[in-house]
């Protein structure tokens, strides 16, 4: 059994014990037949769905998963100090008699888990201003930007997302983009305990489809865009869209700010309003005939970044800038600013705060992160077709020499995007190097071959294949001319590469730095 990191930052230090009988009555949970009388008086002080996270006194929620039933771990959870177990009928059948603690049963454990955790931790979400960001690309960047703006306003924030979880200024690496319900509510309680005013989080389509964030109702939800991704999980683009759309309903948010640059955003505004949600439209690149509440204008881009004015139909206007490169980061910055304004912050207050903070330019690890200037080497997280195309398009105008891109595709994930990624790379770059990403359990050569089919169908670019990612990085960095731009795409901040089920340490940024150091004369940063 693998041990999980038990980071105290991720849970409240104190939580008041609650009677099992009260919880069962509130959440409609029934005792399993063999549960001894008097179970209702037993007390629990939290809930965990993974036995490796039990510290003592919690309710262990044993979930039927895709790989294993959590009930198998109930004895280990009880041995670690769990005071009761909640499971479904299939889990109850797996439990041996004589577990020694009360067992409660409900038909669908994940469906009650969030509410149970929120109840146990005192509804922490209600004590925080709450911001959620969803969309195929840009969630992490927008979340960092909203967080940056709120902190510029003097607020204490908690941040939850793909790169890290941050509680009032202290950070730990994240596991999922959006944590499981029991972990999320514990995290919110830890944030409240640490004195946070606001929560900013990324909400993945998986989390929405699986109800991970319920029963949170966000004050402001933001939508970036929708392009093909995650079809392995959702099946169709329509199902993927509907998962995202569920965030923009009164059940999950009070107000939505929706970028209407793409057709999905425009559809989302209509659908959200039809369902009675307050949906605010934001146009950045959309033409003037597309109706919008907030619109971006007077865009000035130079080597230091992009300045823009965000104007509301009612005349309110904010002028600010972002140093993060690319047209998509203008859209990300505008969305972040509009979300903060829609939470009720006064324009003059945000203007003053952003002026003092130098605009919306947080450091977002592994997102268009520039590691050297000549050659310009950038590590980015683009790992789907649209993100790759956009990242390359953002770099082309400022590349005097060749534009070189190195990337692969993840194994066991949305196979259909692989040739498309190869194609857009070969269309936009001069040199394409196809390497491994995270093959997981899939044969890496097969993944590369599927990417290469798309890349080789385009004439013009030089296309190479270098299986080892570290070797590929070294080769392109050593081979780059001073005027070239090298985009190392796909893994961003990630540090573990999984090949044939085995994790290997690999940090693209470290590999790039090492290669730069061995170029004659070293890098010019
Ligand atoms: C589809 C999905 O969301 N799967 C999640 C689910 O896995 P599973 O159903 O296979 O769980 P399982 O391994 O069968 O275990 C069943 C139960 O036993 C428990 N268990 C298991 C082992 C053990 O030793 N002890 C124990 O108690 C588990 O905590 C679980 O409650 O429960 C696991 C435990 O919490 C998660 O790690 C796992 O996420 C996997 C790793 C995953 O890849 N999720 C992806 C699809 C995901 O959610 N991604 C999105 C967005 C990504 C993006 O935008 O790019 C995200 O929000 O991260
Ligand atoms: N608004 C955007 N539109 C298109 N591409 C973007 C946008 N913002 C960022 N990108 C690209 O997508 C990559 C991932 O960005 P980011 O991490 O902010 O998105 P994300 O939605 O959090 O991604 P993931 O869900 O995979 O964690 C970036 O590295 C960049 O290449």
pLDDT, tens digit only, all 525 positions of the chain: 444 455 667 889 878 899 999 999 999 999 998 888 899 999 999 999 999 999 999 999 999 999 999 999 999 999 999 999 999 999 999 997 779 999 999 999 999 999 999 999 999 999 999 999 999 999 999 999 999 999 999 999 999 998 999 998 888 888 888 999 999 999 999 999 999 999 999 999 999 999 999 999 999 999 999 987 777 787 899 999 999 999 999 999 999 999 999 999 999 999 999 999 999 999 999 999 999 999 999 999 887 889 999 999 999 999 999 999 888 999 999 999 999 999 999 999 999 999 999 999 998 999 999 999 999 999 999 999 999 999 999 999 889 999 999 999 998 877 888 999 999 999 999 999 999 999 998 999 999 999 999 999 999 999 999 999 999 999 999 999 999 999 999 999 999 998 888 899 999 999 999 999 998 655 444
- 402 in contact with ligand 2, CB cutoff 6 A: no
162 lines ligand 2 (CB under 6 A): yes
Assess contact for 518 and 480: CB atoms under 8 A: no
Using CA atoms of 498, 229, 142, 345 in order, give the dihedral in degrees to the nearest 10.
-140
> Ligand 2 centre from 440 Cα, in Å?
22
Judged by DSSP in three states, 317 sits in: strand
Map out the domains of the chain with their CATH numbers.
Answer: 8-120 (3.40.1390.10), 124-357 (3.40.1190.10), 369-517 (3.90.190.20)
SS3 426: helix
Q: What is the pLDDT of residue 1?
A: 41
The residue written with tokens 């041995």 in the block is 79
pLDDT reported for residue 3? 45
For residue 224, the ligand closest to its alpha carbon is 2
Q: What is the number of the ligand closest to the CA of 327?
A: 2
Residues composing the chain: 525
Smallest Cα–Cα separation from 331: which of 409, 387, 253, 407?
387
Q: Give the pLDDT confidence score for residue 231 in this predicted structure.
A: 75
**DSSP track, 38-66:** TGGG-EES-EESSGGG--SSPEEEE-B-S
- Going through 323-397 in order, the beta strands assigned E by DSSP cover 369-372, 376-380
Find out whether 158 and 128 touch, Cβ atoms under 8 Å.
yes
Alpha helices in 286-384 (DSSP H): 327-342, 347-357
- Binding site, annotated residues: 135-141, 177-178, 204, 212
Whether ligand 1 lies within 6 angstroms of the CB of 180 is answered as: yes
Residue owning tokens 């070969």? 426
Assign residue 3 a region: left if phi > 0, alpha if psi is -120 to 50, beta otherwise?
beta
Closest CA to 261 of 313, 224, 309: 224
User: How many Å lie between the centroid of ligand 1 and the Cα of residue 175?
Assistant: 10
Judge whether 185 and 227 are in contact, CB under 8 Å: no
206 lines ligand 1 (CB under 6 A): yes
Q: 385 CA to middle of ligand 2, Å? A: 11
What pLDDT sits at residue 457? 95
Phi then psi for residue 421, to 5 deg, are -65, -40
Instruction: Compute, in angstroms, the gap from residue 67 CA to the centroid of ligand 1.
Output: 9
φ/ψ of residue 59, rounded to 5: -90, 130
- pLDDT for the residue numbered 173: 82
């Amino acid at each position: 059994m693998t041990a999980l990191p038990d980071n105290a930052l991720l849970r409240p230090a104190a939580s008041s014990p609650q009677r099992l009988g009260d919880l069962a009555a509130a959440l409609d949970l029934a005792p399993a037949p063999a549960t001894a009388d008097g179970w209702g008086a037993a007390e629990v002080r939290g809930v965990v769905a993974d036995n490796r996270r039990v510290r003592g006194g919690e309710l262990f929620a044993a979930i039927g998963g895709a790989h294993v039933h959590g009930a198998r771990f109930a004895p280990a959870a009880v041995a670690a100090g769990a005071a009761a177990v909640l499971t479904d009928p299939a889990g109850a059948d797996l439990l041996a008699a004589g577990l020694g603690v009360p067992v409660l049963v409900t038909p669908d454990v994940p469906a009650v888990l969030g509410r149970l955790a929120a109840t146990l931790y005192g509804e922490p979400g209600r004590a925080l201003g709450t911001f959620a960001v969803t969309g195929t690309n840009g969630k992490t960047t927008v979340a960092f930007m909203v967080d940056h703006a709120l902190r510029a306003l003097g607020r204490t924030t908690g941040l939850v997302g793909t790169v890290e979880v941050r509680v009032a200024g202290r950070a730990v690496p994240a596991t999922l983009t959006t944590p499981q319900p029991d972990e999320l509510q514990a995290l919110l309680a830890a944030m409240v305990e640490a004195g946070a005013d606001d929560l900013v989080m990324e909400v993945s389509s998986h989390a929405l489809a699986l109800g991970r964030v319920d029963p949170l109702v966000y004050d402001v939800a933001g939508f970036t865009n929708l392009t093909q991704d995650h079809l392995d999980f959702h099946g169709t683009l329509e199902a993927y869209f509907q998962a995202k759309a569920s965030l923009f309903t009164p059940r999950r948010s009070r107000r939505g700010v929706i970028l209407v640059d793409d057709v999905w955003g425009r559809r989302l505004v209509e659908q959200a309003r039809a369902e009675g949600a307050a949906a605010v439209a934001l146009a950045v690149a959309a033409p003037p005939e597309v109706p919008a509440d907030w619109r971006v204008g007077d865009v000035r881009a130079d080597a230091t970044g992009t300045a823009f004015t965000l104007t509301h139909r009612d005349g309110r206007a904010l002028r600010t800038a972002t140093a993060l490169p690319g047209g998509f980061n203008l859209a990300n910055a505008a969305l972040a600013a509009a979300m903060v304004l829609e939470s009720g912050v006064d324009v003059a207050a945000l203007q003053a705060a952003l002026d003092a903070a130098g605009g919306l330019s947080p450091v977002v690890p592994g997102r268009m992160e520039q590691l050297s200037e000549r050659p310009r080497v950038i590590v980015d997280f683009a790992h789907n077709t649209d993100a790759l195309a956009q990242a390359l398009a953002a770099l082309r105008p400022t590349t005097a020499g060749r534009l070189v891109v190195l990337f692969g595709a993840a194994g066991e994930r949305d196979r259909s995007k692989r040739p498309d990624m190869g194609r857009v790379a070969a269309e936009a770059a001069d040199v394409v190097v196809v390497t491994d990403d995270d093959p997981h359990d899939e044969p890496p050569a097969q993944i590369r071959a599927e990417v290469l089919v798309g890349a080789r169908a385009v004439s013009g670019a030089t296309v190479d294949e270098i299986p080892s990612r570290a070797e590929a990085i070294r080769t392109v960095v050593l081979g780059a001319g001073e005027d070239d731009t090298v985009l190392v795409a796909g893994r961003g901040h990630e540090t573990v590469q999984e090949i044939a089920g085995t994790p290997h340490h690999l940090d693209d940024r470290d590999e790039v730095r090492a290669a730069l150091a061995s170029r004659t004369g070293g890098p010019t940063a």
